[in-house]
Structure 1
Amino acid sequence: MHQTSPSHAAPDGDLVALFSAADRTLPTMLQRQAERHGDRALLVLGDQRWSYRDAVRMAAAYGEKLRAAGIAAGDRVALICTNRAEFMQTLLGCAWIGAVTVPINVAARGVQLRHVLTNSGARLLVSEPEGWAAVNQLEGEPLPLERVWLIGASSEPARSHVQPFPHADGVGADAAPVRPGDMLAILYTSGTTGLSKGVCCPHAQYFWWGVHSARLLGLGEKEVLHTTLPLFHTNALNAFFQALLTGSTLVVEKRFSASAFWEALANHHATVTYVLGAMVPILLARQPGPQDRAHGVRIALAPGVPEQFQAEFVARFGLHLLEGYGSTETNFVIGATLDEQVLGTMGKVRDGFEARVVDDQDNEVPAGEQGELILRAKEPFSFATGYFGMADKTVEAWRNLWFHTGDRVSCDERGYFRFIDRLKDAIRRRGENISSYEVEQVLLSHPQIEVAAVFPVRSELAEDEVMAAIVLREGVALDEIELMRFCETRMAYFAVPRYVEYMVRLPATESGKIQKFKLRERGISPDTWDREAVGYKVAR
């Protein structure tokens, strides 16, 4: 396996010095890097291969198409599209003229889809046929949409407001005078409760995503970055800015495929890739083979990988995993370079940010104690600017001038942060607070368990009971009593799940994030095992 040595700085100077505060917009970054890197490949997406110059031409051409369709600076353009060239053509075109892209999860349906389209006030929808079919099935008041660009072949009857996605022809538009604080995109979070919130992401936020990710990954020039994650989420968009800022190439696959993952990395000569926590056990579950090391990847950005899988993954596949913490609303605020990493922690707060661990009144707690993580940025517009059309939610999240993450963490005396769980995932049972994350870690350490999600269900005592939804490894069985005996020696007696249900798969987003709110809503089913119903008493 060929390995390249990481460089811990931009190849020809610090990126912050290369781009002054006023230059931290996508149109300026595109033009500046096209001047420097010309015909070098920037983006490979399916059968499309764009150079740095091509990206500028695409941005200008689709900016002109959008203007001709009546889209102006500040207007929102909704985008329902998988990983294909039209996604990036729309995003770059919108950014070029100062319009705002609203990427929508392609799995969105019903109430969620209607909310995003209505809340964003999008005037134009760019969509693949499946997304457009889902929009047509929505009931209720008319949407604010005025026209639709339909991607790909379709039997859609001709209508004046529904047109095929245009070809990139013509001279192209002049770039608008975009400012770093202007919105680049509105990304809707897959919140666990309530309506999704549209996160207002300015141009400069993605500049800083690229800068901080490049520093922590040690990106040099001419790297090949490879992602299978969906472009409608922050992670893959961030990877585009990493490539753009460092003079590298980003390869975007259609979707994640465990069977094709390593072969694709080798074929594209990738040096960096991106994995989410749920992808790691899936890859480890496959039969070992020569493809495991027939690649040149040296590092993967891998937030949220369970600790018990990390050593096995690194030993088997021969690449390093980089932990860290960020969110759609913030940036790469907590992390560590490979030589700084401490297993089981997310890292330290990075330069340019502040972090505190606080109680429910925003008072900072002592080192080692658990509390909510709150964050603040020192550079202008390196965080999101709020939730679109939801002033009350913005004020609530940014109260006391700090962004409240909703994540329970601790920070030790050395400044290393450890993730505990989401605050709303904490379970209160018999007067005891239980971390769902900690229970999950015990379950995941069982050799026969592939995936586990722990969540509260209501008890007869008007508090919570602990329930676990579990996916077993292929071809194995696990008796619930055996599981209870495994748990009671590894966690407090009050944290041992009362309810267990084995499932074929757990509900998840396109990026693999388990949707616990769906499990909570589903609750106890006829297939749920109840240890109290069978008279099993947990040893204290």
Structure 2
Amino acid sequence: MDIVGYSARRARAPATPLRSKLRPAVPRDRHVRTLRGDLMTHLESVDLEGATAHDRMAMDPPFETLVGLLQDRAVRMPDREFLRFAGRAWTFGEIDCWTSRLAQRLVAEDGVHAGDRVAIMLPNVVQWPVSWLAILKAGGVVVPVNSSYQRSDLAFVLADSGARVMITDTAHTRLVEDVRAENTALADIRIVDAAHPGELTRFPATSPACAITGQTLANLQYTSGTTGFPKACMLTHDYWIRVAWVCANATRLGPDDVALTSQPFSYMDPQWNTALCLTIGAPLVVLPRFSASGFMADVRSNRATFCYVLGSMPTLLFKQPPTPRDRDNSLRMVLCSAIPADLHAQLEQRWGAPWREVYGMTESGVDLISLPESVADVGSGRLGQPVPTKRVRVVDPQGHDVANGEPGELITSGTPMMLGYWNQPETTAQVLRDGWLHTGDLAVRDAGSYRLVGRIKDMIRRGGESIAGAEVERALESDDSVVAAAVIGVPDELFGEEVKAYVQLAPGIERSATPAQRIVHDLRDKLAGFKIPRFIEFVPDFPRTASERISKPALKARSAEQPGTTYDLKPPRRDISGSRP
């Protein structure tokens, strides 16, 4: 037997026909024992030719818990592939059985009760989603832990969450043991070896008796923590179900599709991708990590029809050398957050599939989405329309709506939405005000859609001008010699702040004043003069969050400890009297 008693099969290639439309759901039934029938029957029997994606997204999903959804899939399609890791596949039936036995073990041997927090610290292996679903079946609350965390990070998350059990692997067990030994409050945390939790076949292959509803807390999902300690978003079953339902209907994905993900499972994207594949009854391919050089080859070899990428991933992919096989893939939809507007049409042309924006946060799931038919959004930077279960506004600091074309903070309300931040009522009250989540993103309303222009906390004040770091970064990354860029404000006696850019150059380009001067010179046709960086520092790479975004706090800390060569691209200024400072 392989991996706690469940054999992995070699992954099968998916069927070639791709279904383009979903059919509507029936009203939700709140009892798990009656959930078995409804979604696939109606997907197969009800004609939805007249229904729009907007209509479908507005409907309530037919299931309200991930537990009920998995149980239905195991009954209706037990032999259909569900999860694929490193070329090995597990079916819905196998995963349902495995997660039920593990849930029974967590209850019987580890004392997990409803509401208990159980942490998972694993890389991208099949035991991650199995542990997630098993904990939910036991009525527990999942605490995802980044597998790259060290002692202080791990100790904070375990103490803050109040986790009683940790599911991990051999590579991390010593770290967990050290944290337990150094923190008396954590001494009683039980460690479960994910690969060898004992003989699970002695436990029933049915879920423990546990009352779970859509409003049952499912995750304490810690944000990336790019500013200070991370905060834990309280996410319910309903949250995950609705994110998956909206994305499934917006993209018209169905059981003949194949989804692929490469982000760490501790981050929310592989989790909502798992919920998505449960919703549509399709397989999810999980890569060990994101690799720009190998990503499209994995898309091609797994015949993936859908993937989600975010942050700098599109730019890093586009910077890879083109090959004759670029369009030799099965992709029919790519969802993305932060598609570079200048590259959008080129991304579609190069790989032969629509790329569409989806906007949301861990706190809010999904708020805005651009539909496949929204071809006018390509290259515009627009994020699409609000999903029908959400309201979106752009407001000034006093909370008043700003005029079209004027920048303001993007705020959102509706479902899905977090319940709040765990153990942080004051922070929750600051972010969730009068039913509106304040995102901290600066946006403009544009032709009935929305465009992001930066982060409130990522604004540089140079003299009397406000500069969005994201805008300068996009302009820098449009240069063929630039792989990635990060822009920050540095103190300046005259202007208050000056613009400094950290730049990662493409392989083979010399790090010297010459390319720095050329890059800045080329920006003059793209940006107003006051936005152009005065300083450039070349870096070999960037520290990144789990969501593949550049971590500017970590970048600043690294630069302070290991300063590189900074090129000053303006001549020394004269003061008011005309003498050089």
Normalised by the length of structure 2, the TM-score is 0.84
The partner residue of 1:443 within 468, 476, 497 is 476
Does structure 1 retain, via aligned residues, the 8 Å contact 2:17–2:256? no
User: Partner letter of residue 100 of structure 2?
Assistant: A
Q: Deviations over 1:140-159 (max 9, x none)?
A: 5324352111345xxxxxxx
In structure 2, distance between residues paired with 1:409 and 1:168: 51
User: Partner letter of residue 142 of structure 1?
Assistant: T
CA shift for structure 1 position 16: 7.7
CA RMSD between the two structures: 2.4
Aligned to 2:154: 113
Q: Is 1:142–2:209 an aligned residue pair?
A: no
Aligned to 2:35: none
CA shift for structure 1 position 8: 5.4
In structure 2, distance between residues paired with 1:112 and 1:458: 30
In structure 2, distance between residues paired with 1:259 and 1:462: 41
In structure 2, distance between residues paired with 1:196 and 1:520: 18
How has the CA–CA distance of structure 1 residues 447 and 9 changed in structure 2, closer, same or farther, with 3 Å as cutoff?
Answer: farther
Gaps of 5+ in 2: 1-15, 25-42, 47-55, 575-581
Decide which moves more: 473-482 or 341-350: 473-482
Aligned to 2:78: 38
The partner residue of 2:288 within 248, 254, 262 is 254
SS at structure 2 position matched to 1:421: strand
In structure 2, distance between residues paired with 1:349 and 1:446: 32
How has the CA–CA distance of structure 1 residues 48 and 88 changed in structure 2, closer, same or farther, with 3 Å as cutoff?
Answer: farther
1:149-168 matched pairs, under 5 angstroms: 149-152=192-195, 164-168=196-200
CA shift for structure 1 position 5: 6.0
Does structure 2 retain, via aligned residues, the 8 Å contact 1:98–1:178? yes
Aligned to 1:361: 398
In structure 1, distance between residues paired with 2:183 and 2:237: 33
In structure 1, distance between residues paired with 2:283 and 2:252: 15
Q: Deviations over 1:33-81 (max 9, x none)?
A: 2222232112222354222222221221111011021111100011111
In structure 2, distance between residues paired with 1:3 and 1:481: 52
Q: Is 1:87–2:153 an aligned residue pair?
A: no
SS at structure 2 position matched to 1:323: strand
User: Partner letter of residue 242 of structure 1?
Assistant: L
Q: Is 1:470–2:513 an aligned residue pair?
A: no
Aligned to 1:49: 89
Aligned to 1:511: 547
Does structure 2 retain, via aligned residues, the 8 Å contact 1:3–1:297? no
Q: Deviations over 1:268-316 (max 9, x none)?
A: 2221122224222332233332432332111111211211222222222
1:52-451 matched pairs, under 5 angstroms: 52-68=92-108, 69-138=110-179, 141-144=183-186, 145-152=188-195, 164-169=196-201, 170-172=203-205, 173-341=207-375, 342-343=377-378, 344-377=381-414, 379=415, 382-412=416-446, 414-451=447-484
User: Partner letter of residue 374 of structure 1?
Assistant: I
CA shift for structure 1 position 490: 2.5
In structure 1, distance between residues paired with 2:60 and 2:198: 35
Q: Deviations over 1:382-440 (max 9, x none)?
A: 2111111111111111022211111111112x321101111111111112111111111
Does structure 1 retain, via aligned residues, the 8 Å contact 2:310–2:336? yes
SS at structure 2 position matched to 1:190: coil
User: Partner letter of residue 100 of structure 1?
Assistant: V
Does structure 2 retain, via aligned residues, the 8 Å contact 1:127–1:151? yes
Does structure 2 retain, via aligned residues, the 8 Å contact 1:499–1:530? yes
How has the CA–CA distance of structure 1 residues 148 and 471 changed in structure 2, closer, same or farther, with 3 Å as cutoff?
Answer: same
How has the CA–CA distance of structure 1 residues 97 and 489 changed in structure 2, closer, same or farther, with 3 Å as cutoff?
Answer: same
Aligned to 1:460: 493
CA shift for structure 1 position 373: 0.7
1:482-493 matched pairs, under 5 angstroms: 482-493=518-529
In structure 2, distance between residues paired with 1:383 and 1:211: 14
How has the CA–CA distance of structure 1 residues 47 and 8 changed in structure 2, closer, same or farther, with 3 Å as cutoff?
Answer: closer
Does structure 2 retain, via aligned residues, the 8 Å contact 1:499–1:528? no
User: Partner letter of residue 106 of structure 2?
Assistant: L
Gaps of 5+ in 1: 153-163
Does structure 2 retain, via aligned residues, the 8 Å contact 1:277–1:306? no
User: Partner letter of residue 463 of structure 2?
Assistant: R
How has the CA–CA distance of structure 1 residues 446 and 536 changed in structure 2, closer, same or farther, with 3 Å as cutoff?
Answer: farther
CA shift for structure 1 position 111: 2.9
In structure 2, distance between residues paired with 1:494 and 1:286: 32
User: Partner letter of residue 389 of structure 2?
Assistant: G
Does structure 2 retain, via aligned residues, the 8 Å contact 1:126–1:165? no
How has the CA–CA distance of structure 1 residues 25 and 424 changed in structure 2, closer, same or farther, with 3 Å as cutoff?
Answer: same
User: Partner letter of residue 116 of structure 1?
Assistant: V
SS at structure 2 position matched to 1:312: helix
In structure 2, distance between residues paired with 1:8 and 1:165: 39
In structure 1, distance between residues paired with 2:499 and 2:226: 18
The partner residue of 2:67 within 4, 27, 43 is 27
Aligned to 2:34: none
CA shift for structure 1 position 257: 2.7
How has the CA–CA distance of structure 1 residues 119 and 320 changed in structure 2, closer, same or farther, with 3 Å as cutoff?
Answer: same
CA shift for structure 1 position 508: 0.6
Decide which moves more: 90-99 or 212-221: 212-221
Does structure 1 retain, via aligned residues, the 8 Å contact 2:459–2:468? yes
User: Partner letter of residue 428 of structure 1?
Assistant: R
CA shift for structure 1 position 200: 0.7
Does structure 1 retain, via aligned residues, the 8 Å contact 2:61–2:245? no
In structure 2, distance between residues paired with 1:462 and 1:391: 38
SS at structure 2 position matched to 1:179: coil
In structure 2, distance between residues paired with 1:216 and 1:314: 18
Does structure 1 retain, via aligned residues, the 8 Å contact 2:250–2:371? yes
CA shift for structure 1 position 136: 4.4
Decide which moves more: 132-141 or 477-486: 132-141
CA shift for structure 1 position 99: 0.1
Q: Percent identity?
A: 29
How has the CA–CA distance of structure 1 residues 277 and 305 changed in structure 2, closer, same or farther, with 3 Å as cutoff?
Answer: farther
CA shift for structure 1 position 166: 3.5
Aligned to 2:7: none
Decide which moves more: 42-51 or 442-451: 42-51
User: Partner letter of residue 210 of structure 1?
Assistant: A
Decide which moves more: 4-13 or 143-152: 4-13
Aligned to 1:157: none
